[in-house]
Amino acid sequence: MTDDRSTGSQPAPETPAPPAGSSRVLGPDEIRRALTRVAHEILESGHGAEDLVLLGIPHRGVPLARRLAEQIARAEGRPEGEGLSDLHGALDITMYRDDLRSNPTRAPSPTRIPRAGIDGRTVVLVDDVLYSGRTVRAALDALSAIGRPAAVRLAVLVDRGHRELPIRADHVGKNLPTARSERVHVQLTETDGTDAVDIVRLAAGEGEGA
Amino acid sequence: MRHFISIADLTREDALAVLATAEHMAQTQSRSIRKLPTLVGTTVVNLFFEDSTRTRISFEAAAKRLSADVINFSAKGSSISKGESLKDTALTLQAMGADAVVVRSASSGAAHLLAHSGWIDQPIINAGDGAHEHPTQAMLDAFTMRRHLRPEDPSADLAGAHVVIVGDVLHSRVARSNVLLLTLLGARVTLVAPPALVPVGASAWPCEISYDLDAALATGPDAVMMLRVQSERMVGGGFFPTAGEYSRRYGLSAARAQTLPDHAIVMHPGPMNRGFEIDGSVADSPRSVIVEQVASGVFVRMAVLYHLLATDAREAPRDH
């Protein structure tokens, strides 16, 4: 995943141009269309929104899960906002990471599980970028400490390849072939003030974590 | 943070970061499976040169909930009683592959010495050194106060709160750490003790000092923390005329507790002398959070272990 928390949130001008050295892959319209398609895929793969829980992985998976939940609620014809908080939540995975001892201290984020819990329901994990698969591995461990879902699926906005574990996404907004020397930089209105996905070419020696 | 020796080493941001992590730990402890894999493969040594049951058990529980292995090394039944020095003990622990050492000692500065002597490279956590500091106790007290006094905002500090700390301040590392931490978080602290139990130099601490408990309680504090009278350290006596007189003037009786504001909480770091510094009925009353302090201790110590061990020690970042 892109782990670029240091990026400040600029106030949202229309669609700011990508910074130098990077190229825009998805703009606001493409992100909206990709999420609409993923929301419908999630509905079709199950049997409607019954027993569905979308859990976003902090930081940017959380607003994505909320957006998908809103789309699903709308597609199901639910009145605005009804039962929405039972449909989505947040799953912090900090305590389950396998790279804690090779990074500066990470501040954990809140976990919010819908009141009905996850036992026997279908959990859809939501993240912005699928890369090594290690974040998803940690999320599966975190999930098993909370309950026993009937099934777990994975939805991501961008799959950039380079998996290090036998993990795949069920629903992908955009498949994005990348080089390891590149970084996928996702910005969302809720966290960064604008909706955009950029590919950033890193200078030599500037590595990226899992 | 490289070590956790003294509240004086912390910035306000450090303290709030540890409290925020402790809240996260508390949240994980209400799940069906409470054990986290965070520190799997690490070894935490509890090095206790002084008797302590609850602090040692609290650190042990915290380390185990994070999947660390725990080795308990207590002075009784170890080579310390045969005359081994702190240095030799440190070298032994280093050679055994300890990843962190929790140290409790009757000597002020023992944790600091261990951390900065060069005998051992690992993070050192102070679990009480003489009459100097007991920083994790202060953190758990602040954590408990924040939950009761600022329930609407889990990221708040304690600005505007008034805390009265009563009793044997002279022998209390808990009081010293609490004065530093509570004022760091914006609270106002009043120490109440008989003159003979106020340490020399306390007038320079960032707090008020009073000799009159009733006057201090009449100001309507938000929290009252009773300290244990540490009779075992009062060699020679003469600190107060009789136990009865101390209890009458400085004990938290049921009548005194009734004068407190409705929202005020009563705290005690334990172990309590019921009927001496605190009446049993007050310790068991709804405003008492003494049992909750014990639970908070595990969350706070999990947070401290996380901040020191789940990080790249080579970089030792100042910020979080």
Helix (H, G, I), strand (E, B) or coil at B241: coil
pLDDT at B282: 97
Cα B269 from Cα B226, distance rounded (Å): 8
From B17, B32, B312, residue closest to A107, measured CB to CB = B17
Using only C-alpha atoms, chain A has a radius of gyration, in whole angstroms, of: 17
For A68-80, write each residue's pLDDT tens digit. Answer: 999 999 988 888 7
Instruction: Read off the pLDDT band of A1 (50, 70, 90).
Output: very low
* A2 assigned to some structural domain: no
For B113-166, write each residue's pLDDT tens digit. Answer: 999 998 999 999 999 999 999 999 999 999 999 999 999 988 899 999 999 999
Backbone angles phi, psi at A26, to 5 degrees: -130, 135
User: Is B56 among the annotated ligand-binding positions?
Assistant: no
pLDDT at B31: 87
* B314 assigned to some structural domain: no
Amino acid at A200: V
Residue B175 has pLDDT above 80, yes or no: yes
For A185-198, write each residue's pLDDT tens digit. Answer: 999 999 999 999 99
Residues of B in Cβ contact (< 8 Å) with A146: 31-33
Q: Are strands B100-105 and B43-48 parallel, antiparallel or unpaired?
A: parallel
For A106, residues 6+ apart whose C-beta sits below 8 A from its C-beta are A94, A97, A100, B310
Backbone angles phi, psi at B103, to 5 degrees: -120, 135
Say which CATH number the domain at A164 has: 3.40.50.2020
Total number of domains in chain B: 2
Cα B213 from Cα A55, distance rounded (Å): 52
Residues of B in Cβ contact (< 8 Å) with A104: 311-312, 315, 317, 319-320
Q: Are residues B55 and B171 in the same domain?
A: no
Structural tokens at position B290: 């003494």
Residues of A in Cβ contact (< 8 Å) with B20: 107-108
Q: Which of B147, B131, B145, B182 is nearest to B15 (CA)?
A: B182
Whole-structure pTM value: 0.89
A12-21, B6-15, B266-275, B280-289: least confident range:
A12-21
A154-168, B220-234, B235-249: least confident range:
B235-249
Distance of residue B38 Cα from the nearest chain A Cα, in angstroms: 5
Nearest CA in chain B to A148: B32
A97: domain range?
28-101+108-180
* B155 assigned to some structural domain: yes
* B318 assigned to some structural domain: no
* B36 assigned to some structural domain: yes
Residue B77 has pLDDT above 90, yes or no: no
For B25-46, write each residue's pLDDT tens digit. Answer: 999 998 888 999 999 999 999 9
* B2 assigned to some structural domain: no
| Number of inter-chain CB pairs under 8 A, A vs B | 61
B309 touches chain A (CB under 8 A): yes
* B184 assigned to some structural domain: yes
B68: domain range?
7-133+295-309
Helix (H, G, I), strand (E, B) or coil at B173: helix
Residue B80 has pLDDT above 50, yes or no: yes
* B147 assigned to some structural domain: yes
Residues of A in Cβ contact (< 8 Å) with B37: 95-96, 141
Say which CATH number the domain at B250 has: 3.40.50.1370
Q: Are residues B124 and B204 in the same domain?
A: no
Total number of domains in chain A: 1
Structural tokens at position B279: 């009446």
pLDDT at B45: 96
Q: Which of A139, A143, A178 is nearest to A162 (CA)?
A: A178
Query: Angle at Cα A93 formed by Cα B27 and Cα A154, nearest 5°?
Result: 125
Nearest CA in chain A to B37: A96
Q: Are residues B149 and B215 in the same domain?
A: yes
Residues of A in Cβ contact (< 8 Å) with B318: none
Residues of A with CB under 8 A from a CB of B: 92, 94-96, 100-111, 141, 144-147
Nearest CA in chain B to A98: B38
| Average pLDDT value for chain B | 93
Backbone angles phi, psi at A110, to 5 degrees: -70, 145
ipTM over 0.85: no
